[in-house]
A and B are shown apart, each in its own frame.
Chain A
Amino acid sequence: MTNYVLRQGLVHSASSQEIADVLIVDGKIAQIAKKIDAPSGTVEIDTKDCWVGPGFVDIHTHLREPGREEAETIESGALAALMGGYTAIVAMPNTEPALDNVALVSYVLDKGARTPIDVAVAGAITQGRKGELLAPMAEMAELGVRLFTDDGTGVQSPSLMRRALSYAKPLGVTLAQHCEDEDLAGGGSMNEGEYSAKLGLIGRPALAEELMLLRDLELVKLTGAKMHFLHMSTQNSIALITAAKKAGLPVTFEIAPHHFTLDESACSDFDALFKVHPPLRTKADVASLRDALRDGLVDAVATDHAPHAPELKDLAFDEAPAGMLGLEHAASLTVDAIGDANSSRFFEVMSRGPARIAQLRHSDVRIRHSAQGGDLVVGEDANLVVFDPSAKYVVDRDQLHSRSTNTPYHGRELRGKARVTIAKGRAFNEQGEIA
């Protein structure tokens, strides 16, 4: 294995930030110090003016394998993640068929193990994500699955959700919910409000999200089970969940880069690239999400990376599938929202928080998972990112590593880029592996 020394970056370890060198030997972090005399044969990587921190962890990635390999495979999704600075991702279970049993979870874990990064799996809560019968969560948990979700849609039935929480609680796993009451949101293709009314598109009201969130917070109170809330998108949702956390409920939540970057007005040209569930919300919601991010209220930024083949995004707005790419630009958008003076908070929401939620830390020992994320600790696996917060670039959808091109940021100038990602001890940059 190639050994590396990262020179003079701003190193974000668990307890401190300082300009230092990081020595990586045999895939482990060997030393962090002001100045390291590396043994000969060590590859030098200049990280001056860069942030060196724990590799990003995305707990909300849609890989389209099995079923929609033309949009994304486990391999292509992992590569997009690696180039975005991610060293671990959690694959969502809404593939075709859904990841609701041990065989399918094993398939994704095995294929994921052949990629440079750590690919974990979120299992489905219900069989076939149909919201009718519980999926074999205990068996999947034995394989190391720590998150369960029917994401794509939420579990609509309150009684089923209550049973799922009761069942999951002793397994030590977390249920993650896509909060949208389909009865209220049903048929809608963008946020309900000023723009949907003008554009003649059926709206998905904020209330659809908030009502299910409220319901589930009560169910958490009732069952005592842990719960994670996916892509919270409204001002009111943030307020509700922040209050619940203050009250001591075992809940966490994530927000998605598009929800704190883009607002509903982006749908004005009926470009289905901007169609996503939950939908892009109001400018006030965007502002409140950014505030929450800066104020440290947010547990994680998660991409909801959702590749779709181009022909599907060429359908009419109300017929096109929802979802947009996220992995390759999430870090830039997060820096933009948090500001570059607050790099420790950046790594909190990009790496530590998500690793904690998905139980991907070193302490979270799991079968078939060797890698760990979330922190820089001497002696542990080297999962790092060298992030240049001042690098400017223009998004070009034809230069993405994802197999799909449905990014809503094409042509936009962004700032902040992963220069080098070190996953399981192997360093990669845009040109490939550094050896």
Chain B
Amino acid sequence: MSSTNERQTPNGGLTFFAKSQLLSADDVARGLKRMAHEIVERNESLDDVVIIGLQTGGKPFAERIVELLRDISKSEVPMGMLDVSFYRDDLSLHPVAKSAQTIIDVDLTGKTVILVDDVLYTGRTIRASFNALSDYGRPKAIQLCVMVDRGHRELPIRPDFVGKNLPTSEVEAIVANLEGVWIGEKK
């Protein structure tokens, strides 16, 4: 990403052309660290917390959050991965993602689930993830942690932890990973 400004999107098909970099790798690292602290402050104990990364963009952020929580609180927070492809309400609009595994080894009943994703946009992925999570138990609470909130919500969904608010136009595309955040377009 840093060497080229073209990349394949996870779903294949379209290619992302970066126009400019909005956040550096350092900015991302700082944002993650801040969010990890906020998670610790918000939750009295981490004993009942489970981090769930949304496939595929949320996965690296979730892994990093788990590491940071380990550093901060010296406790090992369980982590899972959730692919919501089969729960989407807009399958006809989206191609089937090259399927990413769902791995959730813990019963979520009574847990506080922290969903982690890269970019929050319309909110439909999050809505689908609520349906999916309910098949794994009845969490006590669900909190949402995103690296970038780019606005344009289509559903009443609000994140609990935000790395950076980046108002964008709907024609633009955002790519976020541990190396930075870029704005550009998909063709």
Do A and B contact each other directly (Cβ–Cβ < 8 Å)?
no
Q: Which B residues contact A (CB, under 8 angstroms)?
A: none
Q: Which A residues contact B (CB, under 8 angstroms)?
A: none
